[in-house]
A and B are shown apart, each in its own frame.
Chain A
Amino acid sequence: MGDALHLAGQLVLSGDPDLWEIVLLSLRVSLIATLIACIIGLAIGSLLAVSQFRGRGAVLVVINALMGLPPVVVGLIVYLNLSRSGPLGFLGLLYTPTAMIIAQTILITPIIAALSRQILEDLNHEYAEQFRSFGLSRIGQMKALLWDGRFALLTVALAGFGRAVAEVGAVIIVGGNIDHLTRVMTTAIALETSKGDLPLALALGMILLTIALVVNGFVQSVRSTATRAAYA
């Protein structure tokens, strides 16, 4: 164990190209997935926050339930759609980073939609009358809420990214954990651990933890600055 840790540290510090390839692919896949999920999820969340319609309660229940989607199930569904015999098989996306981005986007969009809906709805309770008084359109209302909720929403995006980058079940099914192509941190850790190559698994684990710490620290400091200015 001690030896493995020592070797892991050396791997990280030596800038092992295989290791960094895996790290960078992980970041690329999960950042793009988070970005797409934010665009879709924030649109849904802000629309729900300012809308009243029949069946709204049911929609909220469904979205909240989707937050708990098991990654392997998402992986399976995306697999079935992208596999050669599936409806989107002609795109040839299975076992590519794009497939992993799709799976992670599906996984975290409900999280972003549900969490942002809650935040923006609370904000709207405070602003709604003033907005009506201004004669603000619904789109204008959504934009203003998204802007004024930006610091709280940063945490939501972070929650989505955290879930995406740490997830293994979906990406292993649709990505296939192919060396130099679709191998990301989590799938590599699973594989190397099962092979008994603990140093590489540990090195990746340490990097994953560090990323989580750095991103969290960054968001925390942005938020506390915003709170001091009463912007959050």
Chain B
Amino acid sequence: MRDFLDMPDARTRHEQGLALSGISLSRNGTSLLNDITCALPPSGITAVMGPNGAGKSLLLRVAHGLIDADQGLVLWQGDAVTEEARKAQAMVFQKPVLLRRSVEANVDFALKVAGIRHPSLRDALLNRVGLKGRNKQPARLLSGGEQQRLALARALATSPKLLFLDEPTASLDPTSARVIEDILHEEREAGTKIVLVTHDVPQARRLADDVLFLTSGQLHCHQDAASFFQTPDSAEAARFLAGHILN
């Protein structure tokens, strides 16, 4: 997978996925991300796994261009993530950030920012995440899981090419989680690149094409999902998976 970086000219830009090279970030003298280099394929679902505080959410923020790394480069399809490039991406945060408006106004806002005028799209999106008929409710009075689903609907509104999801099913009941997983499958089939942080090993098995494994800001391995769950490349990952099996 390293060859993405090594031979950038050998492929057309669209065949290049998301490339991180030498990403380092520290705050107050603590290293939070340490020289992370990886090349994620241009399609499919990449799962980002690792214990609490490993730097998964930070890595997503850097990759989406919300935080500038102290060192290193992020390239999406060969280009730096500019303000304009970010419009073709979307992110659902670990704690959903919903506007103090109704459910439908939250989706409308994203559509309006993207300049999309499509009257039936919003209701289709709400329907898709299981929030049909909840249009007029204040978004912030939804339950935690419903808020996450609304945040996903809003992220999908602009048909992003690259979608970052930070534990999108963390507070969802099994049925809702399955609905979300189905949506992610569909999006992947439609060609959307998805980078998904998850603690849920069975979910990662179901969804992931490849896996990034981090602890304490270090990238320990980047592997095919199948081989990661069979024989992880790093001892830490093996212990992490063993812990989940024991639980």
Contact = CB atoms under 8 A, between A and B. Distances in A.
B93 A129 contact: yes
Contacts of B110: 134
Contacts of A140: 113
Nearest to A149: B100
Interface residues of A, number: 17
Given A127-B97, A130-B93, A130-B97, A231 B138 contact: yes
Interface in B84-104: 84, 86-87, 89-91, 93, 97, 99-101
Given A148-B99, A231-B101, A232-B100, A133 B91 contact: yes
Instruction: Give the secondary structure class of A's interface.
Output: helix
Interface residues of B, number: 24
Contacts of A148: 99-101
Interface in B122-166: 138-141
A230 B138 contact: yes
Contact of A230 (B86, B90, B140): B140
A129 to B, nearest CB: 5
Nearest to B158: A134
A126 to B, nearest CB: 6
A133 B64 contact: yes
Contacts of A136: 113
Nearest to B92: A133
Interface in B45-82: 61, 64-66
A56 interface: no
B9 interface: no
Interface string A212-232: 000000000000000001111
A135 B93 contact: no
Contacts of B93: 129-130
A230 B100 contact: yes
B84 A135 contact: yes
B129 to A, nearest CB: 17
A151 to B, nearest CB: 8
Contacts of A144: 99, 109
B3 interface: no
Contact of A133 (B66, B138, B139): B66
B173 interface: no
Nearest to A226: B100
A6 interface: no
Contacts of A232: 100
B83 interface: yes
B86 A132 contact: yes
Interface of B: 61, 64-66, 83-84, 86-87, 89-91, 93, 97, 99-101, 109-110, 113-114, 138-141
Q: Top 5 A-B pairs ranked by shortest CB distance?
A: A230-B140, A130-B97, A135-B87, A229-B138, A148-B100
16 contacts: A129-B66, A130-B97, A132-B66, A133-B66, A133-B86, A133-B90, A135-B83, A135-B84, A144-B99, A144-B109, A147-B101, A148-B99, A148-B101, A229-B141, A230-B141, A231-B100
Given A135-B84, A230-B141, A231-B100, 10 more contacts: A129-B61, A130-B93, A133-B90, A133-B91, A134-B113, A135-B83, A135-B113, A144-B99, A144-B109, A148-B101
